[in-house]
Amino acid sequence: MIKKILPALLLCTTVLAPGSLAMAQSSSFALTLLDSKASPASGPGGHNINELSGLAWDADDKLLYAVSDDGVLHHFRVEIKDNKIASMEPVFSVQLATGTTPALVNAEGLAVVNGDNGTPSDGELLVAFEDGPAIHRFKPDGTPIEALTLPGTLSDVAQYNEPNSRLEAVAATIDRGIVTAPEEAMQGQPGDTHTIYGLDGGRWTFPTFQPKRSNLKAIETMPGGQLLVLERTRETKGGPSIGRLRVVDPQACAAETCTATELDAGASTLLNDNFEGMARLTDELYLAVTDKTKKETPSTEFVLFSVIKPD
């Protein structure tokens, strides 16, 4: 949990007035789409900033991390002012090295461990690889540490329906350890469900946003112990992508069966794109990022939003 507003994340107000913003309430949460900003085209060393699939915020070192499909890790300095993304500056870029399997590619999920314990420079990164499938620990400079042990179901490639629907998201929770999820349901599971897996053997299953073309893309922790889930949907086959935000509360699940609270973006179209990465900056503020190639227009886009539990 991020317990305080950090100096490098300049938040000039914590009261979010709806104004012209899109605000919608569920029974327990309000979603407000605040701002968007295009990413710089390249980072230090000439690394392209595109195809971003994972985001993570290190509160102690005041850095936003992003990882691309081809395993390039980027560091950003971020300034938030008046509920807007005032600046997004790339300060470091490096190609990840797994240290064991050069063919391990297609990085999809990203999380920080020890990123908000009050001690700078002790953070580690978790990267979920779809091709593997695997989750590896890295130092923030891209140096590999080790591969984590996956539960048997997740480590067996034959249990996945398709090669491109393997591990897609990872998060480090306070009370349930490291959790991860494939993009789609695995063999033997209903196709209209998603399942979040704990590396300690726990699992939480909930219905997809819609029966078909609803892919889980990211998981992020919330202050109350809930999990914020990002799904990419297509309303029609071949149609445009839309990012859908939902809240899953493992504490409220019946055994392994859960419900998901929909967060409605209202009239805003800021999430109408191929969003894949998500990070929590404070108790209420989050960033999401699109997965775009360098040839696509518009280019890579960051979107700032808030999720607030009303009193």
Residues 171/79/230/172 CA torsion (nearest 10 deg): 10
190 preceded by a cis bond (ω within 30 of 0): no
**Per-residue confidence (pLDDT) for residue 16, from 0 to 100:** 37
Instruction: List residues bridging with 197 in a β-sheet.
Output: 180, 203
Integer Cα distance of 22 and 293 in angstroms: 28
Please state whether the predicted TM-score (pTM) of the whole model is above 0.75. Answer: yes
**Per-residue confidence (pLDDT) for residue 28, from 0 to 100:** 84
Q: Residue 135, Cα to own-chain centre: how many angstroms?
A: 15
Long-range contacts, 196-199 (Cβ 8 Å, 24+): 196/227, 196/229, 196/248, 196/250, 197/151, 197/153, 197/154, 199/135, 199/148, 199/149, 199/150, 199/151
* Angle, CA 123 vertex, CA 118 and CA 127 arms, to 5°: 140
DSSP conformational letter for 41: S
- Each domain of the chain, given as residue ranges in start order, spans 24-308
Integer Cα distance of 139 and 150 in angstroms: 20
User: Coil, helix or strand for 26?
Assistant: coil
**Per-residue confidence (pLDDT) for residue 17, from 0 to 100:** 36
DSSP conformational letter for 152: H
User: Coil, helix or strand for 116?
Assistant: coil
**Per-residue confidence (pLDDT) for residue 20, from 0 to 100:** 31
**Per-residue confidence (pLDDT) for residue 309, from 0 to 100:** 87
Domain 24-308 has CATH 2.115.10: yes
Q: Which residues contact 35 (CB under 8 A, 6 or more apart)?
A: 83, 84, 85, 303, 304
pLDDT in tens, the chain (311 residues): 333 333 345 443 333 333 333 333 345 899 999 999 999 999 999 999 999 999 999 999 999 999 999 999 999 999 999 999 999 999 999 999 876 554 567 999 999 999 999 999 999 999 999 988 999 999 999 999 999 999 999 999 999 999 889 999 999 999 999 999 999 999 999 999 999 999 999 999 999 999 999 999 999 999 999 999 999 999 888 889 999 999 999 999 999 999 999 999 999 999 999 999 999 999 999 999 999 998 888 899 999 999 998 77
Instruction: List residues bridging with 193 in a β-sheet.
Output: 207
**Per-residue confidence (pLDDT) for residue 103, from 0 to 100:** 57
**Per-residue confidence (pLDDT) for residue 8, from 0 to 100:** 42
